[in-house]
Structure 1
Amino acid sequence: MGGMFDILRNAWKIPDLRKKILFTVGMLIIFRIGSFIPVPGIDREVYDELVNRGGSLFGFLDIITGGSFKSASIFAMSIIPYINASIIMQLLTVVIPKLGQLAREGEEGKKIIGKYIRYGTVVFAFLEATGYYFSLSGYMVGGRSIINYITVTLTFTAGTAFLMWLGEQITEFGIGNGISLIIFAGIISRGPTGATALIQNFQAGNLGPTTLISVLVTALILLVFVGVITGVVWVQEAERRIPVQYAKRVVGRKMYGGQSTHLPIKVNLGGVIPIIFAMSLVAFPSLVLGFAFPNSPNP
């Protein structure tokens, strides 16, 4: 633990690195502030009831978005449209030869692919915002109207576009991958809420009939939490090391090479991105049904 603090303290002493850290923290603070700005026109009480009845799917979306989904804020869709656009673009580079050639052209090709991903993000965000609107139209003040449609779709689309820009700024001028940091900040922001709920349930005796059982249940929950985090880190950092043997070669009168090394290949190359994409695919039918049956009592 002391070594980690020493690393942070030494990093803080470097002016350029300090600026990057402050810039990253500032951008994440802006993200968290935006998570509390609600979209106008939504009946919050009825919407909260809808989300609570949404089950694990809505719960997962709320975790990924850092509570923005449940609060119907301007960042309710988070950067999920950006992830969808990125994955689809990666698939298209395999299917369409011209895009595949662009992806192999180095930095210039990556810039063009990045531009296509931005366009795709806006399109996906607008489509998802439209589905969001028709799913929520029965819970909006004034019901369906052109004004409400324009307000909701443009607000959600602009929120996603702003988060995409925020992530790119962090990647370019801050520390680490901006999109991953936004997802991380959203997930850990739910930590205090979960800890508070656990403490309240413990104090109310909801975890067991006796104090001893409540303590054991609480300890078990914390143990499982630590175990899950440990397992995630272990899988994320795991790699398959393929041995590589360099051939010996003679240069003049000397012999070089013959060294052994390894080629590290990550076990989990995709990270959490495929999971988010899969959840988006699972959520798509519910958005379509919400469009077709806006007055249905089931979400």
Structure 2
Amino acid sequence: MISAFSNTFKIPELRSRIIFTLILLVVVRVGAVITCPGVNAAVLQEWFSTQVSNDTGGNAAALFNIFSGGALENCAVFSLGVMPYISASIMLQLLTAVVPSLGKLSKEDGGRQKIMQYTRYATIALCIFQGYLLALTFENPANNPFLHGIMDTIKKMGIPLVSDPGIAFRVMTVLTLTAGTMFLMWVGDQITDRGVGNGMSMIITVGIVARLPAGLMQAWRTFVPTAGKGAQVQPIVLVAMLAFLIIVIAAVICVTQAQRKISVQYAKRVVGQKVYGGQTQYMPLKVNYAGVMPIIFAQALLVFPSTIASTAFKTSPLAQNIAAALTHGWIHYTVYAAMIFFFSYFWVATQFQPQQIAEDLKKYGGYVPGVRPGKPTADFLDFTMTRLTFAGAIFLTIIAILPGMLSERMNVPYITAQFFGGTSLLIIVGVILDTMRQVETHLIQRHYDGFLRKGRIRGRSSFGPTGGGEAVKENAMLWLYVVIAILFIAGMVIFVASRFQHLH
């Protein structure tokens, strides 16, 4: 493993790709701390710290903040992150599988590029819509049910979240957030083309990992006693949770990589004096075929009923009870699990086409041993995938409810519990495996030993379309490195100056 890491910097192309990726990820983190014009970020930061310290709620806002890498907490220009692009990609993928005209377009020459262009247009529309809602939230934070208690923070600090609300602020915020998301899309394309890994997935993963220090710090405050205040949880529970974390990560890796290999035999064909076919190959069917998509769908749809009930019927006790039941408790977990099961099968039904696979096998002379070609093969693949999807859905359900159960039952801070399961852990594991696979390919091509000497790391489907952007030129790269160096030096100077001023 150590030799594999050292070998990565012996290959010039791979070394340049890794450095390029790291530099662009630094740019992403810089944009996550630049506050939108007209917003007092200190108010939202104080509210987030209060929610984390007291564990009084705000789980939905904390989840969105984790996915934005802390940008939402800073009211930053990257507050929307790449989630509008991910949502648009998912919608276009589903529409391609459902709408015949889009499905036909995707199979034509240049059709994927057109669909990708439609995805970008849809991303701009979603950015404008979500940016406007976020601007309204900044102006009137008390009307957002997920920002419960923020008015107490505003009264305590004595400053409003937005100093000068109005149409000018809304337009500026929408333009800023939309430009931030479009810039992140460009950065993601550059990482995919000239870096290592899938760009969009890397941006999301870095944002999640950036919240890990805050989660560890809060876990330390919760589990380790301090002067005048005892620990809320026994130290032995902390040791058990560390062991449990290792087990959960190992289980996620195993299920993410797990697949069933369907044996496919190809008949021999004689063309002239050459014999083709006759070999046996394997068709891999993944246990967790849907990946993290069912959890994302379930989380997104479960937020809307509680939001509507809390906002539209503020004076109705029944509506407030329904909103509370959909937010936490056994009703929340039951509905959440049912939606994960539904979307697991829905995603497989739209993306996995057994009839098309059976026709392709029959066309090229392939067949599954013991199964007739044509419709029997399609039925066999559908039956096999249905059983695998059931196992994958159970796994996703367990992983999805772990953070909430740890937060409610064991008094674990929500920001810490997110790394024990849920969407965050699945994304981190999947992206790391995909990046290791790409680095492994470069090492094996140059006759170096990889991370696994037999090179058995398999890929995974990443978020959205891969690539699609134009790679920057070498001169632009040189100027980019110069700008990054200036930003780094300026940041260090500001940090040292602030520390010196604090001491004196």
Q: Sort the TM-score into its range (normalised by shorter chain).
A: 0.7 to 0.9
Separation in structure 2 between the aligned mates of residue 33 and residue 177 of structure 1, nearest angstrom: 20
- What is the match of residue 206 of structure 1? 231
1:142 to 1:207, Cα distance in 2 relative to 1, 3 A: closer
State the shift of 1:273 in Å: 3.9
State the shift of 1:264 in Å: 0.8
Once structures 1 and 2 are overlaid, which stretch shifts more, 120-129 or 89-98?
A: 89-98
State the shift of 1:143 in Å: 5.7
Letter of the 1:138 counterpart = N
Q: Matched residues, percent identical?
A: 40
- What is the match of residue 382 of structure 2? none
Letter of the 1:280 counterpart = A
1:66-215 residue pairs with structure 2 within 5 A? 66-106=69-109, 108-139=110-141, 140-142=161-163, 144-201=165-222, 202-204=224-226, 205-208=230-233, 213-214=234-235
Q: Give the alignment's TM-score, normalised by structure 1.
A: 0.84
1:23-102 residue pairs with structure 2 within 5 A? 23-48=20-45, 52=51, 55-102=58-105
Letter of the 2:122 counterpart = G
Asked if the contact 2:38/2:164 (under 8 Å) is kept, the reply is no
Cα shift readout 1:230-285 (whole Å, capped 9, x = no counterpart)? 22212211112111122245678997754333111222233224433443344456
Once structures 1 and 2 are overlaid, which stretch shifts more, 192-201 or 179-188?
A: 192-201
Q: Give unpaired runs (5+ residues) of structure 2.
A: 142-160, 315-319, 324-504
State the shift of 1:293 in Å: 9.3
Letter of the 2:183 counterpart = F
Separation in structure 2 between the aligned mates of residue 285 and residue 126 of structure 1, nearest angstrom: 22
Cα shift readout 1:116-162 (whole Å, capped 9, x = no counterpart)? 11111111011011111222212442464012101221111111111
State the shift of 1:175 in Å: 1.0
Letter of the 2:238 counterpart = T
1:284 to 1:243, Cα distance in 2 relative to 1, 3 A: same
Letter of the 1:98 counterpart = S
Q: Give the alignment's TM-score, normalised by structure 2.
A: 0.52
Letter of the 1:41 counterpart = G
State the shift of 1:45 in Å: 4.9
Separation in structure 1 between the aligned mates of residue 211 and residue 305 of structure 2, nearest angstrom: 27
Separation in structure 2 between the aligned mates of residue 55 and residue 158 of structure 1, nearest angstrom: 27
Separation in structure 2 between the aligned mates of residue 142 and residue 195 of structure 1, nearest angstrom: 34
Asked if the contact 2:32/2:77 (under 8 Å) is kept, the reply is yes
Letter of the 2:136 counterpart = F
Q: Secondary structure at the match of 1:70?
A: coil
1:215-254 residue pairs with structure 2 within 5 A? 216-249=236-269
Letter of the 1:117 counterpart = T
1:105 to 1:194, Cα distance in 2 relative to 1, 3 A: same
- Equivalenced residue count is 287
Letter of the 2:279 counterpart = Q
1:91 to 1:30, Cα distance in 2 relative to 1, 3 A: same
Separation in structure 2 between the aligned mates of residue 60 and residue 275 of structure 1, nearest angstrom: 13
Asked if the contact 1:134/1:291 (under 8 Å) is kept, the reply is no
Q: Which has the larger radius of gyration?
A: 2
Separation in structure 1 between the aligned mates of residue 19 and residue 221 of structure 2, nearest angstrom: 35
- What is the match of residue 295 of structure 2? 275
Letter of the 1:93 counterpart = T
Q: Secondary structure at the match of 1:41?
A: coil
Q: Secondary structure at the match of 2:72?
A: helix
Cα shift readout 1:4-39 (whole Å, capped 9, x = no counterpart)? 222222221111111111111111111111111112
Q: Secondary structure at the match of 2:282?
A: strand
1:232 to 1:84, Cα distance in 2 relative to 1, 3 A: same
Separation in structure 1 between the aligned mates of residue 178 and residue 206 of structure 2, nearest angstrom: 20
Separation in structure 2 between the aligned mates of residue 253 and residue 160 of structure 1, nearest angstrom: 58
Letter of the 1:133 counterpart = A
Q: Secondary structure at the match of 1:264?
A: strand
Separation in structure 1 between the aligned mates of residue 305 and residue 80 of structure 2, nearest angstrom: 16
Separation in structure 2 between the aligned mates of residue 280 and residue 131 of structure 1, nearest angstrom: 16
1:173 to 1:288, Cα distance in 2 relative to 1, 3 A: farther
Cα shift readout 1:59-96 (whole Å, capped 9, x = no counterpart)? 22122111112222111111110011001111221333
Separation in structure 2 between the aligned mates of residue 293 and residue 26 of structure 1, nearest angstrom: 48
Separation in structure 1 between the aligned mates of residue 57 and residue 132 of structure 2, nearest angstrom: 19
State the shift of 1:225 in Å: 1.8
> CA RMSD, aligned part only?
2.9
